[in-house]
Structure 1
Amino acid sequence: MKRRNLQQMQQNQWKYKIIAFLLITCCLGSFVLMHMWHNRIKLQLLSREPKISFLFIARNRLSLDLVWDEFFQGAKEPLFSIFVHSRPGFVFSKATTKSAYFLGRQVSDSIQVDWGEASMIQAERILLQHALKDPLNQRFVFLSDSCIPLYNFSYIYDYIMSSSTSFVDSFADTKHGRYNPKMHPIVPVTSWRKGSQWTVLIRKHAEVIVEDEVVFPVFQLHCKRRSLPEFWRDKPFPADPSKEHNCIPDEHYVQTLLAHKGLEKEITRRPLTHSAWDLSASKDPERRGWHPLSYKFSDATAKLIQDIKAIDNIHYETENRREWCSSKGRPSACFLFARKFTRPAALRLINTALLNFQ
């Protein structure tokens, strides 16, 4: 009996060893296959050229869609992708756009966006979430519905792809009236930055923005624009409006987040989108400089485009810093895009061949 039990135990041990060997072999085989599959996918991605993702934030339709249609006609379609954030329920169809490039390109989970509110940041994050699903999207360009490209696709693609940094207009905001002390200590004043929301991001920084669950909630709670007089009838009248914090979230969020994460050395601290600010344009000192100038039909001249293209440096008074513009290590024009153009102005530029994208 003991001998029989011993034989059974020995047989079982051999069975266990064989089973363990088979399991190890299967695991190693699976690992090798997965590694080979991963490398194959990686090689396939590397063999394909990276793309620029154009991210449009619009109220409804894109009034300058015909301008962008001509721009994209001069591009290799595999080298770009398009996403549009418009009001909830709006659909780009043949009835709402004359450009096939925008058909069905609106994101399905858009939200209502209000100027000067954190909803603008959320719209940016939604666009990035969609664009990041494609691993070939390596650069992310934010554009408004009044933006035009100044150069053809090939020039813009080479300019952006030749840089390993993000282009983020960012400077230290010395007017602490915009900074709410309630944001401390999560967002310290030492990280407080200001700039334009029309950024160009590398993939790493786009992922940082989408994954942020710390700084964004603080902005939602404590970064709010000053209440406007016409809305005081709907809200409690402020005791002293001049003492209200006047924080415009989309002018601070990306800049402050990247500074907070210690990533400022990885950005080129200037924008690629031109805006004209005229401090004397408004008679109301409270609203002076809130919005850039809009270019109308009469403004759309060769001199305007030449003057914008000729800008080769940007001066930041608050930091006593001058940012000279370069591409591929050589001096270059600062701007690839410009705003705010009305539809008549943009169409005039196209019809008079002042913008040539071919």
Structure 2
Amino acid sequence: MKRKPVSARLRNKWKTKVFAVVLVGFCISTVLLMEAQYRQIGASSSRFSLFDRKPKIAFLFLARNRLPLDLLWHEFFEGGNENRFSIYVHSRPGFLLNKLTTRSTYFLDRQVNNSIQIYWGEASMIQAEIILLQHALMDPSNERFAFLSDSCIPLYNFSYTYDYIMSTSTSFVDSFADTKEGRYNPKMDPVIPANHWRKGSQWVILTRKHAEIIVKDDVVFPMFQQHCQRKSLPEFWRDRPVPADNSKEHNCIPDEHYVATLLAQKGLEGELTRRSLTHTSWDISSSKGRERQGWHPVTYKLADATPMLVQSIKDIDNIYYETEYRREWCTSKGKPAPCFLFARKFTRPAAMRLLKMSALGVSKEGSSYSFMR
């Protein structure tokens, strides 16, 4: 048997090595090409998904127990796309929204599972708001966060409400300088200086950025817990020691000051539309004493619920802030617009009467109602 020359054997080994290198290179190139194509497809899909996804409004309800106006809100949400809103409810601990406690499928099981007991005029109200925000922020699609009471009604249909809120990059926060003595507690200084002290309404609508700031706050909120408390009134003295001289107490209602003060403290007032979208009428004439004037909002009952009342609220197109000599003309998309999208406080009979009378632009079709602007 003849042996191959050494040169031939070397040539064959060289060819084998070259083939192996080429094969490995081809495999690596194929893998890299496939990975690049996969990334491109993934990026395109992601861009399409982000472009196609509609940002949502998180409706955050603060309720005592059940939602007495759930049927009215059901009709409101019926007129919207479920991909454009989410619902969260803070009720008393242990309360469940099930078929026995709500007649609307939109509210079933929408209660948060770590609610706390709320006491009016105390920091527990702020804690409840923070809990709602924590839950709502878990959904990355939620880009606006609207606080509502269990006595709020919508004044317009879902489409108009959604477009109004989403048409601006700002939060809607009622915020103005509070110059009345007795509300700001000097003990808050220097953490919260007096020039950052603001008053407003707790019924705010926040951008995601501002919602995250509130949830992460560990500086301003502790000061409110310590130094912002309501003034003792006789009807509450049974729950706490009788003050020696209640004229020296600071009358601070935490939820009326916290959000506006925190955002002012952060230097973010330029990112706000400084008004609330929820209308409230304050009852001054029925107050028994000057120190109690303006403490309680008007509650609209059955006899008050008329189309004229609703229209009078819709016709409001400006708000005057006396302490700042500032008149806020209401606009949407750069054009004059109604100031309010919601109103409170309405009893269930009053709200249902407005629904049946189509006073909110609601017309009955078959067995259900449909919201019309």
TM-score (norm 1): 0.88
User: Corresponding residue for 1:290?
Assistant: 295
- Residue 301 (structure 1) aligns with: 306
Tell me whether 162-171 or 36-45 shows the greater mean CA deviation. 36-45
Find the residue that maps to 1:314 and give its secondary structure. Answer: strand
34, 41, 54: which one pairs with 2:59? Answer: 54
Partner of 2:236: 231
Return the alpha-carbon distance in structure 2 between the equivalents of residues 34 and 260 of structure 1: 43
Whichever residue aligns with residue 322 of structure 1, its letter is R
1:19 alignment counterpart:
none
Q: Secondary structure of the equivalent of 2:292?
A: coil
Contact 1:45 1:136 in 2 (8 A): no
Distance 2:40 2:135 in 1: 27
Q: 1:127-276 counterparts in 2 under 5 A?
A: 127-276=132-281
Structure 1 portions without partners, runs of 5+: 1-28
CA offsets, 1:83-122, max 9 Å, x none?
0000000000000000000000000010000110100001
Q: Which amino acid aligns with 1:346?
A: A
Match of 1:11 in 2: none
CA offsets, 1:46-103, max 9 Å, x none? Answer: 3201011100000000000010011111111111000000000000000000000000
1:350 aligns with 2:350: no
- Which of 79, 93, 99 does residue 98 from structure 2 map onto? 93
Aligned mate of 1:110, from 93, 98, 115: 115
* C-alpha deviation, 1:38, in angstroms: 7.5
SS at match of 2:358: coil
Q: Structure 1 pair 268/122, CA: closer, same or farther in 2 (3 Å)?
A: same
In the TM superposition, what is the alpha-carbon distance from 1:33 to its structure 2 partner?
A: 8.3
Residues 295-334 of structure 1: per-residue CA shift (max 9 Å, x gap):
0001111110110000000001111110000000000100
Letter matched to residue 320 of structure 1: Y
CA pair 233-150 structure 1, distance change in 2 beyond 3 A: closer
CA distance in 2, matches of 1:70, 1:199: 23
TM superposition shift of 1:240: 1.4
- State the SS of the aligned residue for 1:293: coil
Give CA deviations for 1:176-219 in whole Å, capped at 9, x if unaligned: 31011111111111100000000011111111101111111111
What's the secondary structure of 1:138's corresponding residue?
strand
| CA distance in structure 2 between the partners assigned to 1:38 and 1:129 by the alignment | 29
Alpha-carbon displacement from aligned partner over 1:11-41 (angstroms, at most 9, x marks no partner): xxxxxxxxxxxxxxxxxx9999899867854
Identify which of 50, 54, 69 aligns with 1:64.
69
Residue 252 of structure 1: CA displacement? 0.3
Cα distance in 1, alignment partners of residues 251 and 38 from structure 2: 57
Greater alpha carbon shift after TM alignment, 99-108 vs 348-357: 348-357
Q: Secondary structure at the match of 2:76?
A: helix
Equivalent pairs, count: 331
Amino acid at match of 1:321: R
Aligned residue identity for 2:196: S
Matched with 1:24 is: none
Q: 1:244 to 1:73 in 2, by over 3 A?
A: same
Task: Select 1:316's aligned residue among 317, 321, 324.
Answer: 321
Decide whether aligned partners of structure 1 residues 33 and 248 sit closer, same or farther in structure 2, where only a CA change above 3 A counts.
Answer: farther
Helix, strand or coil: the match of 2:130? helix
Indicate whether 1:77 and 2:44 are aligned.
no
> Comparing 228-237 with 266-275, which one deviates more in the overlay?
228-237
C-alpha distance in 2 between matches for 1:185 and 1:32: 57
1:35 and 1:258 mapped to 2: Cα distance?
41
Corresponding residue for residue 283 of structure 2: 278
- Give the drift of 1:287: 2.5
- The offset of 1:275, in angstroms, is 0.4
Q: CA deviation at 1:228?
A: 1.9
Q: 1:86 to 1:33 in 2, by over 3 A?
A: farther
Letter of the 1:153 counterpart: F
Deviations 1:144-170 (CA, angstroms, capped at 9, x unpaired): 000000000000000000011000000
Look up the SS of the partner of 2:349 in the other structure: helix
Say which one has the larger Rg. Answer: 2
Checking the alignment, whether the CA contact within 8 Å between 1:60 and 1:90 is kept in structure 2 is yes
Q: Hey, what's the Cα distance between the residues in 2 that align with 1:67 and 1:317?
A: 35
Partner Cα separation in structure 2 for residue 224 and residue 249 of structure 1 = 7
SS of the residue aligned with 1:154?
helix
Q: Is the 8 A contact 1:53 1:137 kept in 2?
A: yes
